[in-house]
Copies of this chain bind each other. A is one copy, B any other.
Amino acid sequence: MLTYSFEEKGPEPLYVYLARCIKNDIISGAILPGEKLPSKRAFAKNLGLSVITIENAYGQLLDEGYLYSVEKSGYYASDVKENIRKKKTPVGEENLVLTGGKTRFLCDFSSNAVEPSLFPFSVWSRLLRDELSKDRDRLMEAPPAGGVYYLREAIASYLKEFRNMDVTPQQIIIGGGTEYLLGLLVQLLGFGKIYAVTDPGFEKIGKIYESCGAACRFLPASEEDTFVRDLQKNNIDVLHVSPSHHYPLGSRIPLSRRYELLSWAEGGDRFLIEDDYDSEMRAEGRPLPTLFSIDAGSRVVYLNTFTKTLASTIRISYMVLPEPLVKAFYDRLSFYACTVSNFEQYTLARFIDEGYFEKHLNRCRTYYKKKREFLQEMLLQSRLGTKGELLQTDAGLHFLLKVHSKKSEERLVKDALEKGVKIVPLSAFYHCKGDGEENVYVLNYSFEGEAALQKGVDVLAEII
Contacts and interface: CB of A to CB of B under 8 A. Distances in A.
Interface of A: 11-13, 16, 56, 59-60, 62-65, 89-91, 94-95, 98-102, 113, 116, 119, 121, 124-125, 128-129, 132-146, 149-150, 153, 168-170, 176-177, 179-180, 183, 187, 191, 204, 207-208, 211-213, 311-316, 330-344
A132 B142 contact: no
A26 to B, nearest CB: 15
A331 B101 contact: no
Contact of A95 (B95, B101, B119, B142): B142
B95 A13 contact: no
Given A144-B63, A149-B60, A315-B176, A339 B339 contact: yes
A139 B113 CA distance: 13
A65 B141 contact: no
A63 B146 contact: yes
Contacts of A98: 142, 337
Nearest to A190: B213
Contact of A142 (B133, B150, B313): B313
Contacts of A331: 89, 91
Nearest to A60: B149
A260 B198 CA distance: 50
A121 B135 CA distance: 11
A141 B100 contact: yes
A113 B142 contact: yes
Nearest to A90: B335
A205 to B, nearest CB: 10
24 contacts: A13-B150, A56-B169, A59-B168, A60-B144, A60-B169, A63-B330, A89-B331, A91-B334, A98-B142, A99-B142, A101-B141, A101-B142, A116-B141, A125-B133, A139-B311, A176-B176, A177-B337, A179-B339, A180-B180, A191-B213, A213-B213, A315-B339, A340-B341, A341-B344
Nearest to A345: B313
Which residue of A99, A142, A191, A334 has the most chain B CB atoms within 10 A of its CB atom? A142
B116 A125 contact: no
A321 to B, nearest CB: 12
B116 A121 contact: no
A150 B314 CA distance: 17
A121 B141 contact: no
B170 A180 contact: no
A129 B136 contact: no
Contacts of A153: 56
Contact of A144 (B64, B177, B179, B334): B64
B330 A59 contact: no
Given A187-B211, A213-B213, A99 B339 contact: no
Contacts of A187: 211-213
Contacts of A204: 335
A293 to B, nearest CB: 20
A124 B204 CA distance: 35
Given A62-B170, A98-B337, A338-B315, A132 B139 contact: no
Nearest to A334: B91
Nearest to A192: B213
Which interface residue of A129, A138, A312, A335 has the most chain B CB atoms within 10 A?
A335
A170 B63 contact: yes
A149 B12 CA distance: 12
